[in-house]
Structure 1
């Protein structure tokens, strides 16, 4: 069975190996460059540390975000091009009849195919994930955004679980649909929807969030990334938990008064659009000073940075469990194929 699996999988394996070599060469180059830039930024501290830090982040932010998004697509490609045709092509061409008339049982044939190709998918995606994790390590340390929606799924072990689930999903869809091209399309769409749904709806609820209240002093407001919204609501974003810059903030309430009510839009927009002139500096300047005089606060839900690895392990384990369920469905279904 190993020889047969290799014969059927060798072209995909060769393409994956070539792709891995190209990606590895670029990520090794990028990793060295990021480390040199990080050393240059650190050499500016403490004198011009803030400016150098901002320049370092802005230089690599879009590149690393693009690479992380690209890594998200590797499991989709694996599921569509490795998983979906695994059984669908056999059924479509009727070549399965030859295999199933031999001494090897259907279940053993399917198990060996999933194990052989699935292992290759996990190795390929896992190596790319680890290389990207290494290349981005200095940036991640500075940006403190390891829990980012895209970044989390492109670091450490999470891509391994994604790849195996995408592959098993494709195999099961191919078994059910029995046509290669429709199975490829369905697998790609379903897995993309699944990735986005898990990142935004499942991941925040894997562990109970911690809660804290942050007073809206001028200093805290100036540390935010954005203020207000297109709807005019008194919102603020990009805050940090005091003493825990690497914490994942999953929810920030609107700005509230001392009695817990959301601040009136008129008062908030007045400070935002026409604040009294004080000559204050900082990101939001006079607006921050104006809002701080209203005695406001926000309530935040967050996950401490120490939970990063428990989240990685839990989410990866969740994907592997779902993969196991799909494999069980496939083994049951193949008996009636």
Structure 2
């Protein structure tokens, strides 16, 4: 049974191995290149040079690591569409199930070998590429400090393995239920895309209760915001883009309040708006004893989030596998 599965899967396996080898060489090259650029351009830089060096480093490596991250994001979807969806649906369409499942090998054993062998291959491909990308982009991730970013989080460390196994099993079970390859591929893509959108935008941030703290708008806070604005006369002011190193900010716009807790209005800001320069204006604002609330996920929760999300997708994979075994035994007669 293992030999038969290999015979049917060998073309996909060979193509995947060749693509993985090419990506490995590419990731090794840019990994060593980014390390050399980091050591020569950033390590030991003077304060006057560091800002430009960091900006140049991010500019040079943003596209290469972004492209590979997108490839890794697509691997689970491709596994679900091209490896999972046709697994059973193709047998049903071509009527070969009547021959395959009437041999000495039971249909459950047939499914177990298929899911096990191809599923492990899927997990190995996603895991190896994730490991290589995590190593290669380590200096880039250190500089940007955006490990929690949606596209970064799902393309590093252990989470891609969970996504890959889930997508492959989803495709296989969908093919069993739909009995047609093309509709199963379309449904698998739609469901997996919905999951990839829903998890980073609506679920991941609630895995653990976020931390909310009150921050004083002093000179240090002013230096790390992108801007201060008002929506209109009589409305409270707000700042944008404030964050702290290594954390995951959950709110982009934060309202400003005065020391007595009332909203900071445009009338309160006018004395600082007439200053000669932007720096003087912001220094004046920092001296008005203002504060805001900052909601975020701490940086030390990165690995707990990784393991929790991996576990969740492994559980979903097991549930789908159980549905597949029940369906192939009771419904596919």
Q: Deviation at 1:65?
A: 2.5
Q: Which runs of 5+ in 1 are unaligned?
A: none
1:279 Cα shift? 3.2
What corresponds to 2:243 in structure 1? 240
Counterpart CA distance in 1 for 2:280 and 2:226 is 16
Shift of 1:298: 1.9
**CA pair 136-104 structure 1, distance change in 2 beyond 3 A:** same
- How many residues of Structure 1 are paired with residues of Structure 2 in the alignment? 327
Matches within 5 A, 1:293-308: 293-308=287-302
Residue aligning to 1:18 = 18
- TM-score scaled by structure 2? 0.90
Correspondence for 1:157:
158
SS of equivalent to 1:94:
coil
Aligned to 2:306: 312
Relative to structure 1, is the Cα distance of residues 174 and 260 closer, same or farther in structure 2, using a 3 angstrom cutoff?
farther
Structure 1 residues 236 and 71 mapped into 2: Cα distance closer, same or farther (>3 Å)? farther
What is the CA RMSD across the aligned residues, in angstroms?
A: 2.3
Mapping 1:214-229, distance limit 5 Å? 214-225=215-226, 227-228=228-229
Are residues 30 and 334 of structure 1, via their aligned partners in 2, closer, same or farther at CA, if it must alter by over 3 Å? same
1:190-214 superposed Cα distances (whole Å, 9 cap, x missing partner): 1011011111111111112222221
Q: Is the 8 A contact 2:240 2:253 kept in 1?
A: no
**1:95-134 equivalent positions in 2, closer than 5 A:** 95-134=96-135
Matched, 1:275 2:273: yes
CA positional deviation for 1:56: 1.4
After superposition, the Cα gap between the structure-2 partners of 1:83 and 1:287, relative to the gap in structure 1 and judged at 3 Å, is farther
Match of 1:195 in 2: 196
Q: Return the alpha-carbon distance in structure 2 between the equivalents of residues 233 and 72 of structure 1.
A: 40
Corresponding residue number in structure 2 for 1:255: 255
Cα distance, 1:304 vs structure 2: 1.9
- Deviation, 1:247, is 1.6
SS of match in other structure, 1:301: strand
**How big is each residue's C-alpha offset from its partner over 1:70-128, in whole Å with a ceiling of 9 and x where there is no partner?**
21111111111111111111111111111110122221211111111110001011111
Contact 1:217–1:288 (CA<8 Å) still a contact in 2? no
From the superposition, tell whether residues 237 and 75 of structure 1 become closer, same or farther in structure 2 (CA, over 3 Å).
farther
Judging changes above 3 Å, is the alpha-carbon distance between structure 1 residues 268 and 251 closer, same or farther for their aligned structure 2 residues?
farther
Summarize the Cα distance change of 1:277–1:66 in structure 2 as closer, same or farther, 3 Å threshold.
Answer: farther
Deviations 1:245-272 (A, max 9, x none): 11222235522213444433x458869x
Q: For residues 162 and 252 of structure 2, what CA distance do their matches in structure 1 show? A: 30
Offset at residue 230 of structure 1 (A)? 8.9
Give the alignment partner of residue 329 of structure 1, picking from 280, 300, 323.
323
Q: Which secondary structure state, in structure 1, belongs to the residue aligned with residue 213 of structure 2?
A: strand
Classify the secondary structure of the residue corresponding to 1:289.
helix
Cα deviation digits, residues 297-336 of structure 1 (max 9, x gap): 2212222222111111100110110111111111111121
Partner deviation per Cα, 1:146-167 (whole Å, 9 max, x = no partner): 1111101000111111100010
Asked whether the 8 Å contact 1:69–1:150 carries over to 2, the reply is yes
Aligned 8 A contact 2:178 2:184 in 1:
yes
